[in-house]
Each structure stands twice: as structure tokens, then as C-alpha cells.
């Protein structure tokens, strides 16, 4: 009997096992079908969590984004041979210290998000009287190649009589001694004289508010200083040959860069686009 019972259990065992395995398989398949089970997958962070939180764009970045082009200024020196004392008043090769002052301006304004194109050619050598004519030709070419230029800045230094008071062209600003700045507007052959004056007044006003005492005002000269080439043309006389050092002029150039950058960025931010360049 015992041997018969053992044979019966052996015969029925595999059948029960098969039924149990089949039930498990069917249950698993049903769970998949009804969405009760999903295989392990990499967990993906929600879209909003994956997005990097960025800082608000600066005024310069926002203006650049909206205009799709950098705010650009053209910097030159019609009287490129000018030096400061104790150097000779003019460099015989036309590469005076005024170029160093211009380079300082360009560096400072670039730090404010403004692109600067610096013309370093000699315009007043060999003929000083043809300086503005030569400079005008270079400016016209640069404007044609860069139609997005928003201002033309011609940087000079003054040449006042020796008997002038030494402090007549010097001031204290930003914790240092700097050269004062005179703005000049030409009214000969210049259909842009009004807009040149408006730009000079805007820059002077901002200079007065940011660095009081540095401006020497605005002077209208009866001559052609290439203001006809761009509505925002500015002739800036930084310091004087006898009254200032090169270091004072360079310090003042940085102040002027801060001021010009502020005016141009404000114009762009307010949507006051500069008038297109006119043909001389």
C-alpha cells in the first residue's frame, strides 16, 4: 500500500506544480495588461525641475537681445599727434599720447557692454590743416562697413595759453585728480548740428550728474569737425597740454566712457533709436 501511495503522489505532483506556475504567469500578464505593474525605468525629473534658474538679464544683455546687435561706438582722433606735457606738444609721426587716452576710453566703455571700434591712423601728419578732412574719409569708410554704429567720438586735448590757471582744466572726481572735458560742436557744412548739440548736451548733463565739476561746457566752433557724418558725433577735448598730465587724461577718459555708455544704453532701452547715418 505504501508503495502505491508514493506512486500516486509522484504522479499528481507535477500536475499541481504546472497549475501553480500557470496561475502565476496569468496573474503577471493580467497585471501588465491592466497597468498594475510596470517594469523599472529611470526616473525622469519634472521639466520644471530640470530647468536651470537663471539670473535676470542685465540692461546691456536685454538691449542686445532685443536689438540683435551690439551697441557700437566709433572712436578716433582727428589730431592724432597730440601729446601731454612734458612730452613734445605733437608727435612727429602722428602717433601721439592722445591714442593712449582713446585706448583707455575704449577699454572702459567695453566694460559697460559697448563695443568700441578705435581708429588709430594718423590724420594730421604731414599736413595738420587736413586733419579733419583725412579723419572724415576714414569715418565715412568705417560707417559704411559698420552701419550699427550709434555714436562717433573724436577725442582731442586742448592747447590753452600757458598763463591759464593750472586748475582751470583739472578737477577731483571718483577720488582722484582728473582732466576736465570740453565738448565741441561744429556748425560749418553740418546739417546734423542740432542733433550733434542734443547729443553733446545729453552727455554733458549726465557728466554733471555723475561727476560734478569735470565738464568745461559745450563750445560751438565755426568749422567743419565731421558732425555731418553722424547725428551722434561728439568732439571731446580731454584736458590741456600744459594743464594736465597723461595720467589725468586717462582717468578722465574712463569717466567719459561711463557717461557715454549710460546715455547710449538709455537711448536704446527707451527705444530711442539713433537716426540712420547720413551721407556727407
Q: Specify the pLDDT at position 9.
A: 46
Q: Specify the pLDDT at position 4.
A: 47
Q: What is the mean pLDDT of each run of 10 residues along the chain (280 residues)?
A: 46 52 52 46 44 57 61 98 97 97 98 97 97 98 96 97 84 96 98 98 98 98 98 98 96 98 92 46
CATH number for the segment(s) 73-269: 3.40.630.40
- What's the CA gap between 181 and 173, in Å, rounded? 12
**Residue 119 and residue 138 in contact, taking contact as beta carbons nearer than 8 Å:** yes
Give the residues across from 116 on adjacent strands: 73
CB-based contacts of 89, cutoff 8 Å, min separation 6? 82, 83, 159, 241
- What's the CA gap between 7 and 182, in Å, rounded? 119
- What's the CA gap between 200 and 97, in Å, rounded? 24
Q: Specify the pLDDT at position 165.
A: 83
CA 219 to chain centre: 28
Amino acid at each position: 500500500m505504501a508503495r502505491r501511495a508514493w506512486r500516486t503522489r509522484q504522479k499528481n505532483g507535477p500536475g499541481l506544480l504546472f497549475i501553480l506556475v500557470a496561475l502565476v504567469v496569468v496573474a503577471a500578464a493580467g497585471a501588465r495588461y491592466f497597468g498594475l505593474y510596470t517594469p523599472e525605468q529611470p526616473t525622469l525629473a519634472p521639466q520644471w525641475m530640470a530647468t536651470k534658474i537663471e539670473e535676470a538679464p542685465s540692461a546691456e544683455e536685454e538691449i542686445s537681445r532685443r536689438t540683435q546687435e551690439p551697441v557700437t561706438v566709433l572712436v578716433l582722433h582727428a589730431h592724432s599727434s597730440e601729446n601731454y606735457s612734458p612730452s613734445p606738444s605733437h608727435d612727429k609721426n602722428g602717433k601721439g599720447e592722445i591714442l593712449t587716452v582713446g585706448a583707455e576710453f575704449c577699454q572702459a566703455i567695453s566694460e559697460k557692454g559697448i563695443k568700441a571700434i578705435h581708429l588709430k591712423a594718423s590724420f594730421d601728419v604731414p599736413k595738420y590743416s587736413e586733419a579733419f578732412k583725412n579723419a572724415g574719409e576714414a569715418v565715412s569708410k568705417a560707417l559704411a562697413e559698420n552701419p550699427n554704429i550709434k555714436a562717433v567720438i573724436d577725442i582731442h586735448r586742448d592747447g590753452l595759453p600757458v598763463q591759464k590757471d593750472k586748475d582751470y582744466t583739472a578737477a577731483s572726481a571718483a577720488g582722484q585728480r582728473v582732466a576736465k572735458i570740453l565738448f565741441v560742436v561744429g556748425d560749418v557744412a553740418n546739417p546734423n548740428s542740432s542733433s550733434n548739440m542734443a547729443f553733446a548736451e545729453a552727455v554733458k548733463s549726465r557728466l554733471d550728474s555723475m561727476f560734478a565739476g569735470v565738464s568745461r561746457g559745450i563750445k560751438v566752433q565755426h568749422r567743419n569737425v565731421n558732425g555731418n557724418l553722424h547725428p551722434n558725433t561728439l568732439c571731446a577735448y580731454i584736458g590741456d597740454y600744459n594743464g594736465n598730465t597723461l595720467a589725468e587724461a586717462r582717468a578722465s577718459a574712463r569717466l567719459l566712457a561711463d557717461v557715454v555708455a549710460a546715455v547710449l544704453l538709455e537711448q536704446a532701452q527707451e527705444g530711442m533709436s539713433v537716426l540712420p547715418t547720413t551721407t556727407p
